[in-house]
A and B are shown apart, each in its own frame.
Chain A
Amino acid sequence: MQADSAAMNAPASAAPAAATADVPLTPRQQQALDTVLAERGALPGALLPVLHGVQDALGHIPPAALPAIARALHLSRAEVHGVVTYYHHFRTTPPRGRVVQICRAEACRSMGAEALMAHAQAAIDAQGCDTLEAAYCLGLCAQSPAVMVGDRLHARMTPAKLDALLAADPSAQSVQGERA
């Protein structure tokens, strides 16, 4: 696991971009990437802020973006790939529909999270249009079990309430929960 980049990785500029990028970036993706790199590329330790910026703008991190990110940050493509794949938060393909995260950590387990997860799995398998993921603590441990749908948190969840959430208008779920 101790990837020592000097020995293992050729500089990004030495390899053609197409080697890891089956699908080239669309003009919109390229523009978003350029904007993020211009805004964040010079930060100290810029890679995570850059990757967050790309994923926030595009919903995922297209593999075709990696060579340009590597070049801009003077990293090898392998280093960028290593970081993208190390962190659970980053995804390289767009999620299907809404992302439904169910907490499976101890506090939620004490209140039936495993049964809720099984229920959600069956429900999402049946409807076939959302993405179900496990989360490991959403910080709502006194109101377990906790769920996040899109970017909205829901506590004291039950199978019936989850069914209602999943049946609700998908566009309503992407609205930011917090209003100052």
Chain B
Amino acid sequence: MSTTLTLHVPRDSAALAVGADAVADALHAAALAHGVALQLVRNGSRGLLWLETLVEVATPQGRVAYGPVAPEDVPALWPALVADAAGMPPAHPLRQGVTDQIPYLALQERLTFRRVGVTDPLSLDDYAVHGGWAGLRAAVGMDSAAILHEVTHSGLRGRGGAAFPAGIKWKTVASAAVAPGATKYVVCNADEGDSGTFADRMLMEGDPYLLVEGMAIAALAVGATEGYVYVRSEYPHAVATLTEAVARAAAAGWIGDNVAGSGRAFRLHVRMGAGSYVCGEETAMLESLEGKRGIVRAKPPLPALEGLFGQPTVINNVLTFAAVPTILAEGGAFYRNYGVGRSHGTLPFQLAGNIRRGGLVEKAFGLTLRELLYGFGGGTVSGRPVKAVQVGGPLGTYVPESQWDVPLDYEAYAAIGAVVGHGGLVVHDDTADMAGLARYAMEFCALESCGKCTPCRIGSTRGVEVIDRITLNRDQPVVRDQQVTLLRDLCETMVGGSLCAMGGMTPFPVLSALNHYPADFGL
């Protein structure tokens, strides 16, 4: 056979978890059996996760997608792939058409995720061919103030959930003094512990050089020479991919002792967490990086002034750093033009839980939950009505249908007492027990509290008990109502008295469940 068949099978965890390796093996076996020369690329995931394992074949019309492909589908699929590659599109039940024209993808505004699923994640050639390193190249030619200006002007805010303006944080670090011989640090918080979020993982597994590039730009902007990525231990594939990417980027001279020929050093290290949710809080993460228990620090001092090993430290989430190369390559104004109000740029939303078409949807701020739930997500996978959507992770509120038309931007969500957070959406159908979910929120807080402050450490355990007393006393209104008052009091104490978001925001899901779904509590 003279021509080579080019196929793509993702290596993302989401694909591996549904048998992508076995699919790849079956495709290799089929190629061997048919005497076809096969080039099989292991790419990241396109983020159409209900279609994983998504097999793509290169055709004259572009890449064409088939999914979800199980290993046992491959023998019947093989002739279709061969025909498609030859420009004779077949009829096949798993054929989804030209990948880029699938509405779920075509309707997105992918800036940060534009390469994810397209390229071989560890190929430096692929990265460069698809626009990689343009931001870092631009930054090398600029002084610190000019880089800071672009990042500030872009309106980029922290994508980990707190939404603090990145440019202001970076300026604080840039202007902080360090003792002779000491260094500043750039630390990436990749402790993506929130249920319903997987964008950090997909980016680290699917386009790791983008994170490396963003952190290198931050280092140039603030004058840091050392950097760490703190990845949770539940993400072994992300750790492996990122570790390899860092080594290859250093060997190629993009980071290391002479960043992209700038004459400046930035050495990057990958560190693994050890199964502590609270280490997603930035100061607990710093403690963990220093080799200690992940206990939250009191602020001030801000980590920007006294962070890792007591030195000025930029801490941002994966998606914040990953937005930066685009900003430097295209200019702050380009990025700023996406979004609404003071929420500039795009957010990679993650559609999760009980949803028909779960996956990653990168869009500019300002669309509504309803568009995401039904336009992209297609409603529940169970086919039952949606009852509640938790937006922004385990510490986010349950948003009832009456609020599904509020635009997703930081300020509009804050105005209804909700949070956009990291952009994760967990959908529950009408079988969900909201009192049970509220109890779980308190239980999880009790399990994961670092123990430093009393409202969180003790309050979470008391919260479980109080919710139990509410639901066990459904037919005794006086006792029940006393306990409801107690729960509201407790939540007020936790919100106002906790050191960090763990105890301070656990009441958000609890109170939103109580306020919007009182019947589930027997009220």
Q: Which residues of A contact B (CB under 8 A)?
A: 1-2, 44-49, 51-52, 73, 75, 79, 82-83, 86-90, 103, 105-111, 135-144, 146, 151, 153-156, 177-180
Contact = CB atoms under 8 A, between A and B. Distances in A.
Contacts of B394: 105-106
B142 to A, nearest CB: 30
B437 A142 contact: no
A1 B291 contact: no
B195 A156 contact: no
Nearest to B19: A154
B291 A46 contact: yes
B407 interface: no
Contact of A52 (B244, B272, B352): B272
B437 A155 contact: no
Contacts of B437: 106, 109
B13 A141 contact: no
Closest 8 CB pairs of A and B: A142-B358, A47-B291, A105-B195, A87-B274, A141-B352, A89-B275, A88-B275, A110-B353
Interface in B335-381: 350-355, 358-359, 381
A8 to B, nearest CB: 13
B274 A107 contact: no
Interface in B441-480: 444, 447-448, 450-452, 457
B110 interface: no
A180 B52 CA distance: 18
B227 to A, nearest CB: 12
A179 B23 CA distance: 13
B263 to A, nearest CB: 24
Contact of A107 (B17, B52, B195): B195
A136 B21 contact: no
Contacts of A49: 271-272
B234 A73 contact: no
A180 B352 contact: no
A2 B452 contact: yes
Given A153-B17, A178-B240, 15 more contacts: A44-B290, A49-B271, A49-B272, A83-B291, A83-B293, A87-B274, A87-B275, A106-B426, A107-B196, A110-B428, A136-B448, A139-B198, A141-B198, A141-B358, A180-B122
A108 B244 CA distance: 31
A107 B351 CA distance: 10
Given A1-B451, A87-B276, A141 B196 contact: yes
A44 B183 CA distance: 13
A45 B289 contact: yes
A117 to B, nearest CB: 12
B237 A111 contact: no
Contacts of B457: 1
B424 A141 contact: yes
Nearest to B234: A138
Nearest to A2: B452
Given A1-B457, A89-B233, A106 B390 contact: yes
B17 A146 contact: yes
Contact of B194 (A46, A111, A137): A137
A127 to B, nearest CB: 23
B309 to A, nearest CB: 7
B299 interface: no
A153 B15 CA distance: 10
B215 to A, nearest CB: 17
Contacts of A46: 291
A139 B47 CA distance: 13
B351 A82 contact: no
B294 interface: yes
A45 B290 contact: yes
A146 B437 CA distance: 18
Q: Which of B198, B447, B451 lies at the interface centre, i.e. has the most chain A CB atoms within 10 A of its CB?
A: B198
Given A45-B289, A141-B352, A142-B350, A106 B450 contact: no
Contact of A86 (B198, B276, B424): B276
Contacts of A82: 293
A67 B218 CA distance: 40
B266 to A, nearest CB: 16
Contact of B16 (A73, A88, A153): A153
B18 interface: yes
A87 B284 CA distance: 12
A180 B42 contact: yes
B367 to A, nearest CB: 18
A138 B295 CA distance: 23
Given A153-B13, A155-B17, A86 B432 contact: no
